[in-house]
Amino acid sequence: MSNTTHKPSLYIIKIGGNVIDDKNALHTFLETFAAIKENKILVHGGGKIATSLGEKMGIQSQYIDGRRITDDDTIDLVTMAYGGLINKKITAILQSMHCNAIGLTGADNNLLPAKKRPVKTIDFGWVGDVTASEINPDKWKSLLENTMVPVMAPLTHDGNGHILNTNADTIASILSVALSSLYQVKLIFCFEKDGVLLDVNDESSVINNLSESHYLELKDKGSLFAGILPKIDNAFSAVHDGVSEIIIGNSAKLNLLLEGKSGTAVNHKNG
């Protein structure tokens, strides 16, 4: 059995829309990210840019249960916004900070193969589901060993020529699981709050350590903000599958998150 202490460290950090939508916040975040010495991968969401760009082009965004319906026009829109505009802006900023970023989608080098989500009660359109077993860790290792810093847009592909829209939290989680065979992975979900809050209106109510039993108890009571639940579900899924450390916290405090001095640590332990 391999000892994780012999594996090199890898940070997989996911940033969401609110950071991307704020130029100053994004620049500050990327300065801290660029300074990380260890292996690192950045996964980004889309923010409001795709929606505002769509409005200019006459494409209205449709959502069901907070998830974007991705029809033919919308997949073209998000490919332009996520894989083009947002991804390349982030890559260019990182290059200006002497960070050798390479902007990617899941189609590039077949990094993130996916399957189109089957139609059940809702047809989400061109939405992709990824699994860790389909990801080839050696392809990612090759990038990292050649001192590249992948910047991953939330886009995958189905192997039949179609780009698929895929949730960025899910990509970060699944990718962390796939690469935990080669690296000691630390997964950090960054958003606008200081962590998982007992009271969404009280920033001081951060839960420092969240066990699964405590989470399920709070979830059953309806105590947590509904929007954070998929993020936490992704986190526990990754913990079960071998990811060594997962933190949820504020993108403005990335330096503290990296040091374990802020945010919510998601773990197996009860407490």
pLDDT at 2 over 60: no
Which pLDDT score is estimated for 103?
Answer: 98
For 189-199, the pLDDT digits (tens) are 999 899 999 88
**pLDDT the model gives residue 270:** 47
Question: How do residues 204-215 score in pLDDT, each as one tens digit?
Answer: 899 999 999 999
Is residue 36 within 8 Å of 258, Cβ to Cβ? yes
pLDDT interval class at 38 (50, 70, 90):
very high
Identity of the residue numbered 234: N
Q: Residue 123's CB: how many other CB atoms inside 10 A?
A: 13
When the pLDDT of each residue in the chain is averaged and rounded to a whole number, the result is 92
**Do 156 and 220 form a contact (C-beta atoms < 8 A)?**
no
Side chain identity at residue 175, one-letter code: L
| Chain centre distance of CA 86 | 14
Other residues' Cβ atoms within 10 Å of the Cβ of residue 196: 28
72 with 133: CB under 8 angstroms? no
pLDDT of residue 45: 92
C-beta separation of 126 from 175 below 8 A? no
pLDDT in tens, 158-190: 999 999 999 999 999 999 999 999 999 999 999
Instruction: Give the tens place of pLDDT for each residue, 72-96.
Output: 999 999 999 999 999 999 999 999 9
- The whole-number average pLDDT for the span 226-238 is 87
When pLDDT is averaged across residues 238-249 and rounded to a whole number, the result is 91
pLDDT value for 4? 47
Given a contact cutoff of 8 angstroms between Cβ atoms, the answer to whether 186 and 247 are in contact is: yes
For residue 227, name the pLDDT band (cuts at 50, 70, 90): confident
